[in-house]
């Protein structure tokens, strides 16, 4: 009964705080945003061993309704492929866990060459549905993709900022070392288990989907097309002198689709 009451209360509160373009957000940012510059990374020997086993390295901290997390993941794919997957927002509903819908409503380039994208996200999480508006920034000079809330519109997160970073692997040629970092602040009515999930399992899911999709794409691009095997009809197979090529014809000469049939036993 208590679970049902809690669920009804959450639904009612979510309706009050529903994401909408009709109203601006309650503030213009309370969490320090990422600036798009690379975050220095250094892993220990133990963490390096974990990465070599294709396991992510995770750091999290939580304080009340706020949390921060950092994930490092090694991926057997190029930086370009990894970044393409991360920036392919329209495909998020098919690639990213819990994302139900992404609607891109704005896209523009800055004088520095960066690309800014405004997008509305609909996410289903532990029986609840969240809507929020992000302003995402791709900085090609640093291979980073960062975001803040789009504070012109009201979101179901109190605040949400984050950072993607793709780097060449320090020792594996063609591999990528991916860094994902985010900070969130939820409204008081959001239960703590949502905060716990967003700063734990949701973090590892955030890099595991990139690893899965990027390595799949890398394998696809790395597969070389081969000529199909041609099964010659029986009458073209040499048996007892059934078919012979012109005399003095050199194998080094280009193939000409012409041959002289020589009568023999069939």
Burial (Cβ within 10 Å: 0-12, 13-18, ≥19) of residue 231: exposed
Q: 68-94: per-residue pLDDT in tens?
A: 999 999 999 999 999 999 999 999 999
Q: Which two tokens stand for residue 68?
A: 């921060």
The structural domains of the chain, with segments of one domain joined by +, span: 21-222
Q: What is the pLDDT of residues 107-166, one digit of tens each?
A: 999 988 999 999 999 999 877 888 999 999 999 999 999 999 999 999 999 999 999 999
Note the pLDDT of residue 63. 87
Homologous superfamily (CATH) of 21-222 is START domain (3.30.530.20)
What pLDDT is attached to residue 245?
38
pLDDT of residue 49: 96
Query: How many other C-beta atoms are found inside a 10 Å radius of the C-beta of residue 99?
Result: 18
The proportion of the chain whose per-residue pLDDT surpasses 90, expressed as a percent, equals: 62
Write down the pLDDT at residue 192: 80
pLDDT of amino acid 125? 80
pLDDT at 193: 81
Which single residue is written with the structure tokens 């393409």? 84
89 CB contacts (<8 Å, ≥6 apart)? 102, 104, 117, 119, 136
pLDDT for 16-60, tens place per residue? 457 999 999 999 999 999 999 999 999 999 999 999 999 999 999
pLDDT digits over 195-242, tens only? 788 877 888 899 999 999 999 999 999 864 333 444 555 554 555 444
């Amino acid at each position: 009964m208590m679970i049902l009451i809690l669920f009804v209360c959450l639904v009612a509160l979510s309706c009050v705080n529903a994401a909408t373009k009709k109203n601006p957000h309650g503030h213009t940012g309370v969490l320090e945003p990422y600036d798009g510059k690379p975050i220095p990374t250094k892993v220990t020997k133990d963490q390096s061993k974990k990465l070599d086993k294709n396991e992510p390295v995770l750091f999290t901290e939580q304080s009340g309704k706020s949390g921060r997390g950092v994930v490092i993941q090694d991926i057997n794919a190029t930086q370009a492929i990894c970044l393409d997957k991360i920036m392919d927002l329209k495909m998020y509903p098919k690639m990213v866990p819990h994302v139900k819908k992404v609607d891109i409503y704005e896209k523009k380039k800055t004088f520095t060459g960066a690309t800014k994208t405004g997008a509305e996200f609909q996410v289903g999480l532990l029986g609840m549905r969240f809507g929020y508006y992000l302003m995402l920034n791709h900085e090609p000079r640093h291979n980073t993709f960062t975001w803040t809330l789009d504070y012109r519109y009201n979101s179901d997160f109190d605040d949400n900022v984050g950072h993607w970073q793709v780097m060449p692997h320090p020792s594996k040629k063609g591999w990528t070392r991916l860094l994902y970092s985010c900070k969130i602040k939820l409204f008081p009515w959001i239960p703590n288990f949502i905060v716990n999930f967003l700063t734990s399992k949701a973090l590892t899911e955030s890099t595991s989907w990139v690893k899965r999709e990027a390595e799949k794409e890398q394998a696809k691009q790395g597969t070389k097309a081969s000529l199909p095997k041609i099964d010659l009809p029986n009458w073209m197979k040499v048996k007892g002198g059934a078919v012979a090529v012109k005399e003095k014809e050199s194998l080094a000469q280009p193939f000409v689709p012409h041959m002289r049939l020589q009568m023999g036993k069939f």
